Amino acid sequence: MKKWSVIRLTSLIGGLAAITSIVTIIFLIKKIEGDYTRDAVKPHQTDSHELRLLLDEANRDNNRRISTVEETCKRRHLGRYQDRNFESFYKHPPAPQYTVFFIDMVHNLSYCPVYKAGSTTWFYNLCLLNGIPEEALANSSGQISIIARSVLPEMELSEAVEVLEKSRKLLVVRHPFERLLSAYRDKLENSVAGREHGTLHFYKKYGSKIVAKFRDERIAPPRSDQVIRPKDIPPPAGIEPTWREFVQYLIHTDLASYGDDHWMPYYLFCTPCLIRFNIIAKRT
């Protein structure tokens, strides 16, 4: 097993120090350092000072995000600020989706995964924290989310409500437009490449229906010089929805009922207007 110093920790958790809050970093450092380093070299005083500055900045960012969420929920009359005398433009769930949370009672952390916003990294972190060896994760052919769910199974509703109330609650977000583009490119742009990640499934379930409903034969498809293709992968079959068609689908679809987790809006999936998250990190 490799030995991890505080400096090496950053690479292990995918740049976590740059995006999360002081509380999470501290407990991760203590846990991983305690598990994997008995005689690691202690960081120099300069490293400790720089880390403290980084943590202070992350904590300020975190508090600012929490305030923004609170103010937005209140202004839009969503969740706990619902006003029956005010007709909101937004369709909002009446209760949180407790089943989507990964609740780690040992480390007092509850994580709501926003897919396409660093969820794979966080599933990986949770697996490491709960005793799954790094080698086992590297050699596994299973989806990391399924592995994480095997060690952090869904709780009964009453237990989940009680535990979630007491634990630290983590939400990792991403700019919505970046997230949508990432979801499109990963799941819908190419049904030939990436089939091990479900691209054919997404074409059959969503892509084919999007094309059938939103394709306008009067609009020419993008030219080759208007499309960026990753190297060393086969080209699309030509049956996939274009980015324009995907956007039309998002605009005209009730995503609360017919959307997918990879492009479901945060306020519908993790319900931050009903659950007060202690930690709101951002993938950059």
**pLDDT of 180-216, one tens digit each?**
999 999 999 999 988 877 899 999 999 999 999 999 9
Q: What is the rounded average pLDDT of the residues 231-238?
A: 86
pLDDT tens digits, 241-252 = 999 999 999 999
What is the pLDDT at residue 124? 96
Using CA atoms, how far apart are residues 20 and 246, in angstroms rounded to an integer?
31
Q: Given pLDDT bands bounded at 50, 70 and 90, which one contains residue 169?
A: very high
pLDDT of residue 113: 97
User: What pLDDT was estimated at residue 15?
Assistant: 37
Sheet arrangement for strand 102-104: 102-104, 109-112, 168-173, 279-282
E strands, the chain, are 102-104, 109-112, 168-173, 279-282
Question: Among candidates 118, 103, 111, which has minimal Cα distance to 18?
Answer: 118
If one compares 53 and 24, the residue with the highest pLDDT of the two is 53
- pLDDT confidence of 74, banded at 50, 70, 90? very high
Give the global pTM. Answer: 0.80
Predicted confidence (pLDDT) at residue 270 exceeds the cutoff of 80: yes
Alpha helices (runs of H) in 37-156, residue ranges in sequence order: 45-76, 119-129, 134-139, 144-151
Task: Tell me the mean pLDDT in the region 107-115.
Answer: 96
Residue 170's DSSP bridge partners are 111, 279
